[in-house]
Structures are given as C-alpha cells and as structure tokens.
Structure 1
Amino acid sequence: MLEIYKRMLKERFNICDEVIKMSQKALDDISDIIKEIDEIKEYNQSKVLYAMQQERLSDAHFTNTTGYGYGDIGRDTLDRVYSRVFCCEDSLVRPHIVSGTHAITLALSGNLRPNETLLSITGKPYDTLLQVIGIEGENNGSLKEFGIKYKQIELLENGKIDINSVVDAIKNDESIKMVTIQRSTGYGWRPALQIDDIKEAILAVKAIKEDIICFVDNCYGEFIDILEPTEVGADIIAGSLIKNIGGGIAPTGGYVCGKKKYVEQAAYRLTAPGLGKECGSTFGVIRHIFQGLFLAPHITSEALKSSIFCSRLMEIAGFEVSPKYNEKRSDIIQAIKFNNEKDLINFCKGIQKGSPVDSFVECEPWDMPGYTDQVIMAAGAFIQGSSIELSADAPIRPPYIAYLQGGLTFEHAKIGIMIGLSNVLNNK
C-alpha cells in the first residue's frame, strides 16, 4: 500500500493504523480467491452479451411509453433477454415491481390457491415475507387470509436442506402445491445454499410429485455461480433489480422468471387477469435496466470480493463471521456477529460514514415497514435502498448480527469496511 494512501486513509477517513495493517493481511489472504471470482464473472458476462445480441438489442428498444404501454418493444425484448440469461421459458421484468419481496409475493400469490399448502424447506423465510405468508402481522391481504396454508422444514445443523423430511412431508400431505427455497442467508446465521444443494432438493421433490411448483427466492444470488436455479430444475424464481442483477444502474424493479404458465400467473397478479404482461408503461427506465443487466456480472463480482474482504478483515479483528472468507459462496451477503448492540450500531454507522451519498448522516435503529424488530440500515446509495451498493443492515436483536452486502467498486468497499471496523474499535 502506498504511504501517501495510508496517510490519506488516516487523515481523511479516521482509519486507525491497526485497521490498515489488518486490511493488508486480509488482502494478501484473499488474493487467490479473487482470481476465481474473475473467471466466473467473465463467463456470466459472455452469457449476458450473447443474450442481448441474439435478441438484436437496439437503441430503438430504449423506449419511453405512457398510458397502457401496449406494444412496448423495449419491455418485451427485456423479458426475452432475461429468459435467455436464465435459460427459461418466460420472464416478467418490470419497474412496477417495487422490491424483491413484491416479486416473491407475485410468484406465490399468483400460483397458489385456497386450501393449497406452501412448504418452506429452508426454515423461516426472510422477515418481510412473514406478513405476506401470514405467519406474523394482522393478515390483511396475506396468503393465510386467502386460505393458503403454510408449513416449514428447518435446515439441518450443517445448513443443508433436510431432504428426508421434505420427502416425508410431501408424501403425507397432498395439499402441498409449492415448495419454496430461500437461496440467500437473509437475516440468518447459515451459509447460502449452493446451486448443487438447490438441484438436489428439486430432484427429490419432483421424484415424489412432478407437478409441485419449485420456487426459489434468488435475491442476492444472481451471477455468483455459472448456473442459475432455473438451469437446475426450478420452475420459477424471483428477485430485485436493486440487487445484483440491476448492476447498480436500474433505478427500481424486480423480476419473475421460469416456466411460462407460472410467470403468466404472476403477471396476472401484477396487473389483472387477462391483461398480464401485455400492458404497463415503462416510464423511460428500460435503458437503465438493460445497461444494469449488462454491467451486473462485473458489479456482482465487485460486491462478492468486498464481502470476502470484509469476512477476512473482521475475522482477523476477532469477530465471528459467516461465511468465512475461504468458504464457497452463493450470495453476496456477509454476516458479522457482534454479540452486543453498541458494536453492531457503530459498525453500521461506520459503513454510513464511508458512503459516497449521505456520509454525514447518522443512521439509527427504527421501526421499518415489513419488519417486526427495529432495524438499522446503513445505505448511502445512489439508488435508495440498493443492496448492490455498499450497505449494512441489522435487526436489533441478539446475537446482534450485521449483514453487509454490495459494493459498486471493490476499492470503495474496502475503504467503507475499514471505516466501519475503525468506528467500532475507536468507540470501545
């Protein structure tokens, strides 16, 4: 590290000497892993490039429709490009989908009917889905209110899917219509599910009952591997454009991809039965979504490198982390266990201080819509709430785990993470 750069880190960002020294060791330790990430990035970049070329993408597709949006060639071409990228029959990619939770809700509510059962085989879903399903909250508009039942199977102690219990559950309950798999860690303390894990579970489900819908929550997982869940048997997947696949450019939106009949049902929930994908103006954001997709393999690799750096740095500093820097990953999330509220909050505040936007703001825990615990969110981002930009958030509950993700550039993320750690150590 250049001496002039070290002085800058100390003088401008208040990063202590101890953290600078630890960061250099962390960089040395992860150097070989970064090379592997670059190989995956190149493969996925070629996949996206080919999809756009095959659909003859042109500036004529960067449309700005209004009203009903009938015949929006940009919107329809975007769907086809996504279908090629995910190797599936159909896709629904829209700026009208406000979040990953919204995209998942469309997939679930569009394809489940009263008296059918949704079976989660990865334990309790992410916090914002609890009210969607009807596990918590007042059940206004939840699946439960519409007579859709819910069951869950916990993961094994090693974080793998309990295949035997899944098979037993399906054999003993004919009402199970959909199996849902959460690929990412979410607000848990477990490794993200590998593509091979997902494939094994889907094969086991289909061997028992072919017509059970296998749904995968793909948030934070796009372009981490050379395969996506739809390439190993998933019937339908969903995610957010302000995470990996938006490349830090898409200003909003989400996607649902998979088999045509299931995507169509999700589209009927987004608009109305009979309308589906045929309408919905795109407000001039289609170019941003296309460009974000093109950049996504590179941006995702930057975020992944950032999480690995964070894992090693925080481990050197004495904190427990999941996953460890040298473990195979399937999402961009890095969990750090602080075991006390003060250090957790100071780390998140440090990430906020290291942001390019709103670095002067002090983030605080607050009652956030969709969450039952107070949540602190550090997200000084160009796109509000973007998880592909450097951010850290945490529910304020024991054992006080921070979840870091994102980084449009590895160089910025390193600085932000170093500031986060320094803010913990300087406030001991």
Structure 2
Amino acid sequence: MDSSTKLQAAEKALLPIFSGIDAQVKKNLTRVLNAYRNHRIGVHHFAGVTGYGHDDLGRQVLDRVFAEIVGAEAAVVRVQFVSGTHAIAAALFGVLRPGDEMLAVAGAPYDTLEEVIGLRGTGQGSLKEFGIDYRQLNLTLEGMIDWSNLAHAIKSNTRLVSIQRSCGYSWRPSLTIAEIEKIIHLVKQQNPDTVCFVDNCYGEFVEDREPTAVGADLMAGSLIKNPGGTIVPTGGYIAGRADLVEAAACRLTAPGVGSFGGATFDLNRLLFQGLFLAPQMVGEAIKGNHLTAYVFEQLGYPVNPLPMSPRSDVIQAIKLGSPEKIIAFCRAIQNHSPIGSYLDPVPGEMHGYESQLVMAGGTFIDGSTSEFSADGPLREPYVVFCQGGTHWTHVAIALEAAIAAVGAA
C-alpha cells in the first residue's frame, strides 16, 4: 500500500474522531464569543498607543477577556514576552523568593527551563543563583505522575509547585485537565498556601477548560502556540490569581509599573482575532495529530499519544529510532511547508537547548508551533515531535512525503 492509499484509509477511519473534535471546537469557540460579547468588543479596541502604553484600552480589555475565557481572576497578554519560556520565567521570578523551594511534579522540565532554574549554565541570574531551591518528583516507569510520593511531597518552604502540562521532549503522556486538578487537590491538602503553577504551553483549547478553571493559581504560555490562532506575531500570557499575575507582570516590566505599561504596537486587532481563531486552529492541529499517529503506527513505529486516544495537547511524538530518520522526516515536512520549502533542515545548536536539534518550520510566523512544524533533539531514543497545523489537509500532504522518506520501521 503506497503512502497516498495509507492516508486515505486513515482519513476514513478517523472521520468519527474528526467529528468529535469539531464538537469540542464549537464548545471552546462559544467560550470565546461569550467573553467578547460580555466585554462589548468593538473596532475601537483595535487602536493602540505609543510610548509607555498607558491607557491602552484594547490591551486592558483583552486582559479581562482572556481571564474570563480561561476562568482566571486576571491575565496579562503581552507582545513583550519573547516566548513561552520568558512568560514562565516571569511567573516563577514573580512568585519565588530566596529560601523558597520550587517543586516540579511531572519529572524533568522542558529543556529551555533548565537554565532558568539553574540546572545548566551559570552567571545569568537563574533561580538557583537567587537562592531558590529546586526539587523534582520523577515520573513512574510508565511515565505517569507518582501519586503516592506527591501525596506527602510538600515541605514547609515549598512555595511553588510546577506542573508541566505537555510532554515536552520526553516520552510520556501529556497531562489532562483532570490530572492537573488532582495534582492541585493533593498539593492544597498539604499546604493551601503553596502556589500551583502550570506551564500551559501547547495545551490551550484542547479541552473545554483550562488549568485556572480547576484551581491552578497561575499559568503561562506562548501566543505563537495555541492561543495566537496562528496569526499573532509574538508574545505570551500569564493568567491566574490577581496578586500573582501582578507580581509576574512586575518582573516583565518593573515594580510599580507591572501590568499598567507596555505599548501594543498596533497589534491589538491581531491579538483579538488570533484568540477568536484559536479554537478552530487547535482543532485542525489535533486532527493532524490523529492522522500522524494513525499512519505511523501502521508503519510499525511507536507513537505517543496512540491513535484515536484523547488528546491533552497539540504534540504528536513518533519514535523513529535513528538520527537519519529524524533528519529525513524533517526534510520532507520542510519541503511541503508554505515558507522556505527550498531549505534543507540540518542539525544545529539552539539557544536554551542542551542537545543539537533538527527542525522543520516553514511557517509564516518564525518559530510558530501553532502552524505545522516538526523537530527533535538528536539524542536517544530519537523521537520526532510534530505540532500545530492550520488545517489537517496540509498535514496530510506533508505526511505523504514523510512516509516515503522514512519508510516502514
């Protein structure tokens, strides 16, 4: 069976799954529309201001709209965040103080947070250099949360518990909203004052609730991932308890400025429009994930998540087993990207990552993982991670070439 026939068979088998995804999109879009209606969004909210950004009506209302959509007291949605890592770092530095402990409960953090915490690098002002302790609960052998250890893991100085929703570059299930809610419940039983923080990157609009709607005190993410709807050119967000959001905003700007400054560079329209588009774009990405999982499992490769299983983020991992296959896969995806299709992905260093990476990212927004992209670190067990997709049909076209490039396992 050739690659085209394999994909046609997969598409037919996945039609009921696709219908369920569309129903989820409708629920999430209803959340967005209700918030826009409640805050009477109009074209006057698209105007921006210059300089300090004082009295930017669009920015102020977008913060309130975003908070309502995610079930939080407050939010800051800012183009001044250069990445999800930057938003997460601002949240961590906003909450933690010397002598506090940060406890990661979902195993090792994503690569780019290692230098923020102080697990790699020196002299750049990591949490460790500011006297903040770090501890992590490793996952079980099955890649699950160690619930028994978590039930008595909180110490007197555990100020913040970090919950990474997505699998990152690890071979584990991403966390569901129900699992995040259970983690928060166990933590709060031990110490109600411990801040439960969620790295929500790749998870927005995948389910019908966000972590802040189930008790998370604070969460952060990137606008060039899910909530930017593939059209927001840069930025990130922090949402949660109002006092904690303001503390994080003071790390982005300065104490006394906090959330009250920051010009939006005439991007308000795109920020509102991207958030409106986000549920649909996430739905298309999830369809592409299911398609990828289905065909590559048929080819004999281990995939995570499994085809037709519920989704917790927009990442699909394939264990290709060799650096050559990761490179071949990424070249096929790049060759079928709308931008830079003529480029040839090669392994290279990237700021914040320990291993060399190979990346396929022919996207309109540089680095946008809400558009279709694929990448992987060149280390055992040689897994490629696919994410995003503006429409699943584009994913199908690119996968046809990727199947031909790597062959069966």
Q: TM-score, normalised by structure 1?
A: 0.94
Matched, 1:55 2:69: no
Q: Deviations over 1:301-354 (max 9, x none)?
A: 000000110000111112111111121110010000011111111001111011
Counterpart residue number, 2:178: 196
Cα distance in structure 1, aligned partners of 2:23 and 2:153? 40
* DSSP 3-state at the match of 1:188: coil
Cα distance in structure 2, aligned partners of 1:306 and 1:260? 36
Contact 2:45 2:58 in 1 (8 A): yes
* DSSP 3-state at the match of 2:153: helix
Structure 1 position 167, deviation (Å): 2.6
* DSSP 3-state at the match of 2:221: strand
* DSSP 3-state at the match of 2:366: coil
Contact 1:52 1:81 in 2 (8 A): yes
Contact 2:152 2:190 in 1 (8 A): no
Cα distance in structure 2, aligned partners of 1:197 and 1:157? 18
Contact 1:191 1:329 in 2 (8 A): no
Matched, 1:150 2:129: no
Identity of aligned residues (%): 46
Residues 82, 313 of structure 1: CA spacing in aligned structure 2 closer, same or farther, 3 A cutoff? same
Cα distance in structure 1, aligned partners of 2:336 and 2:300? 21
Counterpart residue number, 1:3: none
Choose the corresponding residue for 1:411, options 385, 393, 402: 393
Contact 1:131 1:370 in 2 (8 A): yes
Q: Deviations over 1:357-394 (max 9, x none)?
A: 10010011101000011011100000000001000010
Poorly superposed stretches of 4+, deviation over 6 Å: none
Cα distance in structure 2, aligned partners of 1:68 and 1:400? 46
Q: Which runs of 5+ in 1 are unaligned?
A: 1-16
Contact 1:30 1:325 in 2 (8 A): no
Counterpart residue number, 1:279: 261
Counterpart residue number, 1:361: 343
Q: Deviations over 1:18-46 (max 9, x none)?
A: 11111112112222111111111000000
Matched, 1:20 2:4: yes
Structure 1 position 139, deviation (Å): 4.6
Counterpart residue number, 1:9: none
How do 1:11-410 residues align onto structure 2 when only pairs under 5 Å count?
Answer: 18-170=2-154, 173-410=155-392
Letter matched to residue 145 of structure 1: E
Q: Which runs of 5+ in 2 are unaligned?
A: none
Structure 1 position 282, deviation (Å): 0.6
* DSSP 3-state at the match of 1:168: coil
* DSSP 3-state at the match of 1:255: strand
Cα distance in structure 1, aligned partners of 2:244 and 2:334? 40
Contact 2:299 2:407 in 1 (8 A): no
Cα distance in structure 1, aligned partners of 2:49 and 2:346? 40
Cα distance in structure 2, aligned partners of 1:167 and 1:316? 39
Moved more, 130-139 or 263-272: 130-139
Moved more, 410-419 or 391-400: 410-419
Q: Deviations over 1:73-110 (max 9, x none)?
A: 01001100001101110001000001110111011011
Structure 1 position 164, deviation (Å): 2.2
Letter matched to residue 244 of structure 1: N
Cα distance in structure 2, aligned partners of 1:421 and 1:380? 19
* DSSP 3-state at the match of 1:349: helix
